[in-house]
Structure 1
Amino acid sequence: MGTKNPLHTPICDLLHCDYPILQAGMGGVARAELVAAVVQAGGYGFLGMVRETPELIAGEIKAVRARTNGMFGVNLIPSATDPALFEAELAVCLEHHVHSLCFFWDVVPDAIARAKAADCLVVYQVGSVRDAIAAEEAGADIIIAQGVEAGGHVRGTVSSLVLLPQIVDAVSVPVVASGGFASGESLVAALALGAQGIHCGTAFLATEESFAHSYHKRQIVCAESKDTVYTDAFSINWPPNSPVRVLRNCITEDLGFHLTGHNPDDIRRVEIAREGDRPIYRYSTDSPLKNMTGNIEELALFAGQVAGSIGNITTAKDRIDTIMQSAHRTMKRMGLSAAPRFTWQWA
């Protein structure tokens, strides 16, 4: 659609996509089928490859490219991955010349530098102004500002509508809004606050192409926004003090008011599910995937507060089309003919 799209922002040119909608690189969930579908529909997708083998990453990159000629990225998390494995993950991404790498959690300047040296675009998801500034200083090209409403691992403690304009004011690179964005109205709101697009996880988890278990998808559709909780109980596989937002289940109900203060090193490993030959433990950060068997209900059902706005399981294309259509209606209702003009230019 290019510049004829009234919601076209500079980040669309930077990412080579039609619409300013980024699909989150959800670990396990965001695989080739979902990423390719998002790209084909005009958005920008990230493979969620945290703690995956180099062989799987290479296979998923090839699988996306077999489905589309569009650009996409890979999401890795340096601080939650064994250093040797992260080195192998990064190497295979650079070897296959991925368009971008999205990093999350602690800002790791060396990871940014190595990606930039290989002419790879760097996107960094942060939860605070301090980390946004650190990521930009280390060379990140795009900052994703994640509010506490977001699903999955949550870095910060401030709501999106408060955090987003603060980060926009603090950095000179493009900023994308994350946490609570899954509609056209929220896209327009994000643009009004200075973002150049939105970053969606929950909305794309509940799609036909995502690799999430059908139980997880159905629970999101049935959920209200009040049905999510912020907890660090699901902590096996991640460093201490790594909170997540999940749907309530029997595990969180048993915890009562003791939702935080859990150390993964103190948790006894009890197998409750399997992914092939790999055991999945109660209180791990593994969310239920379509190839898992066992006690799925007790796993981490990652979801943001925006789950209350997700009313169906549909295709990624339909999800994007719905967002864009409602965004255009919202702009028309407000008497707007185009997205805000941005002074930022990519050097």
Structure 2
Amino acid sequence: MLNTWLTSRFDLDLPLVGAPMAGVSDGRLAGAVSAAGGLGMFGAPPAASASWIEEQAVVAAASGRPYGVGLMAWAVPDNPAQLDAVIAARPNLVSISFGSYAEYVEPLRQAGITVTTQVGTTDEARAAEQAGVDVIVARGAEGGGHGRNDVATLPLLQSVLDAVSVPVLAAGGIATARGLAAVLAAGAQGAWVGTAFLGCVETTVSEPAKERILAAGEDDTAYGRVFDVAQRLGWPVEYGGRALRNAFFDRWTGREQELAGDETARAELEAARRAGDFDTAYVYAGQAVGMVSRGRTAADVVADFAAAENLLRRCGILDVS
């Protein structure tokens, strides 16, 4: 049994969190990860309503196991009902990241909710500890979706573990039991995993997008702000996104200032999203996407991560008696 702060805090079978991938993970995936013994999360898109959060929370909680919700700090001021809905739902864990989040930490903790934030540098980790979060997610540049591109997971994890005293989870590029074993051996209290779940039947990913994911290799992602700029989203500039590289990205990368004023390109992207044309539309994924090669259930993915225990025993890191 892999016992860590994470498993003890939430009574989990495995020190594994399903990342709150907005637009990919709703209550169904979160609930499936939790039912399988990890801690599943769903992410609230910027424009998601309070009622949507309430509905997804009910689905996620149906297994009777702990679950979590992810909020984007930059979006909350324009949609404060999201925070109210999350507090009312009382999930076990809330991640609030990517923007000015400090003012939300104490209200969440006062509601009895464990609070985390994702950091991409050691300075961000120090600031998170000062802000009072219960646990920090050290998210490396390999990760899919949004975050910093400054430091890779392993050097970031080592530095953050030395810099803070609160528990630390590792994120970015962790897709198998080997990755989980590696970060646990380094001192992380668990892994925060997104891309490994992209091929699961419980995601909201469309079939054409899933086909792209399952066919992608480890070098088929690219990092940048192209898709955010094209959609006129308010992401802070330091948090770009890692997605599958496509023709639209290649055409506009390095030309983001021009893209910001090009309404034709904006309409082109929106039309492609509706049509499922992923030569133009985006599919967010991390560098571990090359290890996602077949459709599975969330329970299958979680079960495969459980092999980390045997790997650690073989290395003499866990007592074999």
What is the TM-score with the length of structure 2 in the denominator? 0.91
In 1: Cα distance, 2:37 partner to 2:276 partner: 36
**1:21 alignment partner in structure 2:** 16
- Asked if 2 retains the 8 angstrom alpha-carbon contact of 1:178 and 1:198, the reply is yes
1:99 to 2:92 alignment: yes
In 1, are the aligned partners of 2:185 and 2:312 still within 8 Å (CA)? no
Select between 99-108 and 173-182 the one with higher mean Cα deviation.
99-108
Distance 1:250 1:210, change over 3 A: same
Question: Which whole-Å CA distance do the structure 2 matches of 1:164 and 1:31 have between them?
Answer: 28
- Please point out which of 132, 135, 140 is paired with 1:142: 135
1:153 and 2:146 matched: yes
Corresponding residue of 2:164: 171
Residues 93, 115 of structure 2: 8 Å contact kept: yes
Structure 2: any 5+ residue segments left out of the alignment? none
* RMSD of equivalent CA atoms: 2.1
What is aligned with 1:268? 263
Structure 2 CA distance for partners of 1:267 and 1:178, relative to 1, 3 Å: farther
Deviation of the 1:239 alpha carbon: 3.0
Alpha-carbon distance change, 281 to 184 in structure 1, aligned in 2, over 3 angstroms: same
Structure 2 counterpart SS, 1:226: coil
Give the alignment partner of residue 223 of structure 1, picking from 213, 216, 220.
216
Structure 1 position 293, deviation (Å)? 4.2
Q: 1:298: which partner in 2?
A: 280
- Alignment check: 8 A CA contact 2:227 2:249 kept: no
Once residues 194 and 257 of structure 2 are traced to their aligned partners in structure 1, the CA distance between those partners, rounded to angstroms, is: 25
1:238 to 234, 237, 240: 234
Tell me, yes or no, if the aligned pair for 1:128 and 1:163 is still in contact at 8 Å.
yes
Task: Judge conservation of contact 1:272–1:295 (CA < 8 Å) in 2.
Answer: no
Q: Which residue of 1 aligns with 2:247?
A: 250
Change (3 A) 1:338 1:321: farther
Q: Aligned letter for 2:35?
A: Q
**Match 2:206 to one of 197, 205, 213:** 213
2:59 to 60, 63, 68: 63
1:251 partner letter? F
Instruction: State whether structure 2 residue 179 is matched by structure 1 residue 189.
Output: no
Stretch moving more, 112-121 or 122-131: 112-121
**TM-score, normalised on structure 1?**
0.85
1:199 partnered with 2:192: yes
Match of 1:276 in 2: none
For 1:82 and 1:264, locate their aligned partners in 2 and report how far apart those are by CA, in whole Å: 26
Q: Which runs of 5+ in 1 are unaligned?
A: 274-279, 283-287, 340-347
- For residue 226 of structure 1, report the CA deviation from its aligned partner: 0.8
1:267–1:170 CA distance, 2 compared to 1 (3 A): farther
The question of whether the paired residues in 2 share the 8 Å contact of 1:126 and 1:156 is answered with no
Residue pair 1:240, 1:262 contacting (<8 A) in 2 also: no
1:331 — aligned with what?
A: 312
Moved more, 111-120 or 233-242: 233-242
1:46 is aligned, of 37, 41, 50, to: 41
CA distance in 2, matches of 1:107, 1:138: 11
| Partner AA of 2:19 in structure 1 | A
Tell me the equivalent position of 1:320.
302
Aligned AA (1:148): A
Deviation of residue 334 (structure 1)?
Answer: 1.8
Which residue identity lines up with residue 336 of structure 1 in the other structure? I
- Matched residues in 2 for 1:212 and 1:142: separation? 29
Query: In structure 1, what is the Cα distance between the partners aligned to 2:138 and 2:279?
Result: 30
1:25-84 alpha-carbon deviations (Å, 9 max, x no partner): 00121111101100000000111113210011111111222x3101111100121x1514
Within the alignment, does 1:83 sit opposite 2:77 as a pair?
Answer: yes
Q: Aligned equivalents of 2:259 and 2:43: distance in 1?
A: 22
Q: Give the superposition deviation at 1:315.
A: 0.4
- SS of the residue corresponding to residue 115 of structure 2 reads strand
How many equivalent pairs are there? 314
Structure 2 CA distance for aligned equivalents of residues 210 and 301 of structure 1: 13
Distance in 1 (alpha carbons) for counterparts of 2:271 and 2:142: 26
Rounded Cα–Cα distance in structure 2 between residues aligned with 1:267 and 1:98: 41
Q: Are the equivalent residues in 2 in contact too, given 1:208–1:314 (CA < 8 A)?
A: yes
